[in-house]
Amino acid sequence: MDFLKESESAGLYIRHAINDTPTGSGFDFHIHDRCEVFYFISGNAQYLVEGTVYPLTKGSLLIMRPGEAHCIRFLSAERYERYAVNFPLSLFDSFDPERRLMRPFTDRPLGKQNLYFLPGLEDIFRDMCYYEGDDYGRTLLMTTRLADITAMTAQQKSGKAPAGSALSEQTVRYVNDVLFEEITVEQLAAHFFLSASQFSRIFRQATGTSPWSYITAKRLIRARELLYSGMSAKKAAESCGFGDYSVFYKAYVKRYGESPSAHGND
């Protein structure tokens, strides 16, 4: 992977990257605790968001809110170029306390209405990414440009995703419905009258990852939110479906590189 440029300041992160011959390696499913704007420039790929498969063409823009799982699926090894920006939901709160600009991110079902077609934005992303001034100027530039982009999405209807497998979408929806309950893959599979291996195959095709990796990542995202809100680590673990605190502790440290008790809520 060739990262042409990446920078971060005041909770805003942007990167411009190219892969000349991309493969599936290094492009695993992931979940952020911030919003993401993804702008596609070139390649032959699809984008998976919570079981929905979106086709990508030059000028495709996808938006994901915190906790929304996504990954890319390559259809061939053509040159892959994109920009991606991550930022907090609270970015515009100082001038948009009602978060109207964030409605395209938040006021929709999980994994739906993520795709927009907004050609001609490459210069805007380049300006944000290659700004050479100080951090204050970069933060100001990125905030105003992102406000412009989110306003565009608020005014435009999102692109329609192609019809997918009803069963695959149902599996993702059901897992989210029972995310914090005491569940096993076998129990999830039984709900759809499938074997565990059949269920796992369908779920991986829909999301790019295994059911349990998906469940664990989602639970950790939610647990981190609860920790930041002041809940104790043990209570957060229990609330998010971790029956064994040691399992939660190890998973949390592996994902975030710090102890859940680092927030001082124990």
pLDDT digits 0-9 by tens, 18-37: 999 888 766 788 899 899 99
Q: Is the pLDDT of residue 261 over 60?
A: yes
The whole-number pLDDT of residue 165 equals: 64
Question: Which CATH code is given to the segment(s) 166-263?
Answer: 1.10.10.60
Each residue's pLDDT tens digit, 190-243: 999 999 999 999 999 888 899 999 999 999 999 998 998 899 999 999 999 998
Rounded CA separation 12/138 (Å) = 9
pLDDT tens digit sequence for 101-149: 999 999 999 999 999 999 999 999 999 999 999 999 999 999 999 999 9
pTM comes to 0.87
Task: Please indicate whether the domains covering 2-155 and 166-263 agree at the CATH topology level.
Answer: no
What phi, psi does 115 have (nearest 5°)? -100, 135
Kindly list the domain boundaries of the chain, sorted by start residue. Answer: 2-155, 166-263
Q: pLDDT at residue 3 above 90?
A: no
Instruction: Write down the CATH number for the domain with range 2-155.
Output: 2.60.120.280
High-pLDDT (> 70) share of the chain, %? 93
pLDDT of 100 strictly over 70: yes
How far is 16 from 5, CA to CA, in rounded Å? 5
Q: Rounded CA gap, 216 and 212, in Å?
A: 6
